Amino acid sequence: MTTSASPTTTTPTTATPTPTELHPTSTSGPVVRHTRVLVVTCGALATVISAMSSLNVALPSIAADTHASQTRLSWIIDAYSLVFAALLLPAGAVGDRFGRRRALLTGLLIFGAGSAAAPFTSSATTLIGLRCVLGVGAALVMPATLSTITGTFPRERRAAAVGVWAAVAGASAVVGLLASGLLLQAWSWRSVFLLGVVLAALAAVGTWLFVPDSAAPDGPPLDIVGAVISIAGLGALVYSIIEAPEHGWLGRTTLLGLGTGIVLLAGFVAWELHTRTPLLDPRLFTRPAFAAGTLSILLQFFGFFGLIFITMQYLQLVRGDSALVAAVSVLPMAAGMMPAARLAPRVVAAVGARACCVAGLLLITAGMVVLSRLDQGSSYWLLLAGLFPLGVGMGLAMTPATTAVTDSLPPALQGVGSAVNDLSRELGGALGIAVLGSLLGSTYRHHLAQHGALPPALAEKARSSLGVAAHLGEPVLGHARTAFVDGMQVAFLGGAVATGAAALAVALLLRAGRPK
């Protein structure tokens, strides 16, 4: 990731690294072992991406241990994603300026330290704070992985490497769920953080041994004002969405927060258009392929991470599955995603990026619609019928969308492309958890409040979260499960509307005759 000037400027900000940039002490340039670089960078990527989803499996036990409400559970998951997304642009710029290898090592150290501290807390508030620390580390790691690949691999091998990167980015979330499910069979939710420590340590050793360094030390200064405005705007927006079930969607606090976030983000756009060294030049989005790829990635991960957040609770608290069974139950999503991501370049060659990306988004939409039909008595086959096409759709849509973002920019702006690609994923995930989780929470609380058969004291406790209601027994638990399923159906339909709108927008942006 890098800072950039307007796309019309002639001053490069991040050039493709030369051999001496990759290893300043070498006189003839190092022999870059591309396979090892790809394995290590994808390992680092998997470490930080899996942390977005792995804790979802442990939500029921976290709720029982910390007495966290549904809103607090959303924060425990989304604090990581929000900080991750908000710091991606400035953290990527720091990596470009001082060295991407250094950024990888520093980010992995911060991530590992935060993960090592988390098992020693039983406070939901402290856990949220430590998830923020992990987000800081992840923000340093992720942009350095893709920019290292695009800067290290020759052009003829770059598309295939980006395809592997995209597949790992998507599938690591599901693999993280499975690993957490296995750990929870024998240990508590704290073991999930210990897994993060091990993964971060392995990635750090691999980075130290095999990843060459590259940097753009003469690039423009960091846009600190733009970074502060963007962080404040995203923070206000996501905070208001997550807290909406507590204050009401039309409550004064919610509306004020949403308005503040929108005004700040509009101010960020105005500032970026004004400053000579923008963090992210809004004029880049006038490129149809760049805008289409960014929007596609944003809403793919909006649906994906929102889905994971809700589905893990449904499987364990409504269906009564164990953590491991719940994690295994979503593996068909990865079974569809990985092969589809590898086949996507061939599909693009045969039918074009537009058709491939739109088809993928429509499959995601269809999967979300099917999943919105789930209830307490649904068979696993209905879950499978929604998860597999959703995974295939993400595999088909991810690679052409990522390639559209990077290939629509000249070499001097490849760092910007990497950063925006990463930002779209993490911001989409943060918004998906916030919005879909908030739709779930609002509907859940409303339906329980309308149920007059429950004693007011028990109803108030159950409204906190389904995890809390699970300890209250019948008839409270039965009513809470019904309310949760109602909220889940509303949330999944909301996700389907978002991805369906993305399919339409991408089709229009990449319509025949438009530059790609």
Tens of pLDDT along 232-245?
Answer: 998 898 888 888 88
Tens of pLDDT along 113-152?
Answer: 999 998 888 888 899 999 999 999 998 988 788 778 877 7
Residue-level pLDDT at 113: 93
Tens of pLDDT along 262-284?
Answer: 999 999 999 999 888 888 888 88
- Domain 34-217 = CATH 1.20.1250.20: yes
* Neighbouring C-alpha atoms within 13 Å toward the C-beta of 323: 24
Q: Which positions ≥6 away from 462 have C-beta within 8 Å?
A: 448, 454, 468, 469, 472, 476, 479, 480
Provide φ and ψ at 60, rounded to 5°.
-60, -45
DSSP state of 60: H
Residue-level pLDDT at 2: 38
Residue-level pLDDT at 12: 35
Residue 285 neighbours by CB distance under 10 Å = 15
Query: In terms of residues, how long is the chain?
Result: 516
Residue-level pLDDT at 27: 37
Residue-level pLDDT at 239: 86
Residue-level pLDDT at 464: 65
Residue-level pLDDT at 247: 78
Q: With contact defined as beta carbons under 8 Å apart, do 403 and 349 qualify? A: no
Residue 28 neighbours by CB distance under 10 Å = 8
Beta bridge mates, 413:
14
Tens of pLDDT along 208-222?
Answer: 888 887 666 666 677
Q: Which SS3 state, helix, strand or coil, does residue 99 take?
A: coil
**Residue 64 corresponds to which tokens in the numbers above?**
């029982």
Residue type, 383: L
Task: Find tokens 């599909």 and name the residue.
Answer: 347
Residues 69 and 90: their CA atoms lie apart, in Å, by: 32
The list of the chain residues with pLDDT below 50 reads 1-29, 513-516
Average pLDDT over the chain, rounded to whole?
Answer: 82
Provide φ and ψ at 452, rounded to 5°.
-75, -10
Alpha helix (H) ranges present in 54-123? Answer: 59-66, 70-98, 100-117
- Domain residue ranges in the chain: 34-217, 224-276, 288-515
Q: Which SS3 state, helix, strand or coil, does residue 13 take?
A: coil
Rounded to a whole number of angstroms, the CA Rg of the chain reads 22
DSSP 431-450: HHHHHHHHHHHHHHHHHHHT
**Residue 56 corresponds to which tokens in the numbers above?**
């979802």
**Is the peptide bond prior to 410 cis by the omega test (within 30 degrees of 0)?**
no
Q: With contact defined as beta carbons under 8 Å apart, do 309 and 436 qualify? A: yes
DSSP 310-347: HHHHIIIIIS---HHHHHHHTHHHHHHHHHHHHHHHHH
Residue-level pLDDT at 499: 94
Instruction: Report the CATH architecture of 288-515.
Output: Up-down Bundle (1.20)
Q: Which SS3 state, helix, strand or coil, does residue 169 take?
A: helix
